[in-house]
Amino acid sequence: MEKSLSPKELEVWNELKSSKYFGYDVINTEYNLAVKIGNHFFGGRIDALVKNGNKYYILDYKTGSAPKNAKYDFQTMIYTLCVKDFFKTDDVTFVYIDLRHKEEVVLPFKQELEQEFKKRLSDISNKIDSYESAAKKQECKENTDSIYPCEYSIICY
């Protein structure tokens, strides 16, 4: 494989191989996970999930840079809760690996963050619910104003 890489790609590949995470047990790569918060599922595709002993590491490779407030980035919150819930563990660390600048942002999961993450995502779930409700009401109102009103308009609003 290494022979097919460009010089820049080879440099990045060698940088990744030198990372301590490269030697850990690989659970999965390009791993789709989701967690239900409120009435909605939040999820995504984890670049790599590795394990060292009982500790899980979510690896997210960035070709740009890590988010400015990585601790409260949606990706951090969602992926951490997904791994925590799916694998029934509190021993999770999220690692942004900035490939361009050769830096890492390491965010160990702390129990007090769980409620905060769930609250933030629950607020988003509630906003989605309110937007959906408002859209349905508007749709019903438009149908009620037509020649053939919606049969459910009496209970919509």
Residue 129 has pLDDT above 90, yes or no: no
Mean pLDDT over each residue of the chain, to the nearest integer: 83
What is the mean predicted confidence (pLDDT) over 77-82?
Answer: 93
Task: Delimit the domains of the chain by residue range.
Answer: 2-111
The H or E element containing residue 135 is helix 111-144
The CATH code belonging to domain 2-111 is: 3.90.320.10
**Cα angle 21-118-76, degrees, rounded to a multiple of 5:** 25
CB atoms within 10 A of CB 83: 25
**Predicted local confidence at residue 157, as pLDDT:** 44
**Predicted local confidence at residue 109, as pLDDT:** 92
Q: From the DSSP assignment, how many helices (H) and strands (E) are in the chain? A: 4, 5
Residue 59 has pLDDT above 80, yes or no: yes
For 27-50, how does the pLDDT look when each residue is reduced to its tens digit (9 = 90+)? Answer: 999 989 999 988 888 889 999 999
Residue 94 has pLDDT above 90, yes or no: yes
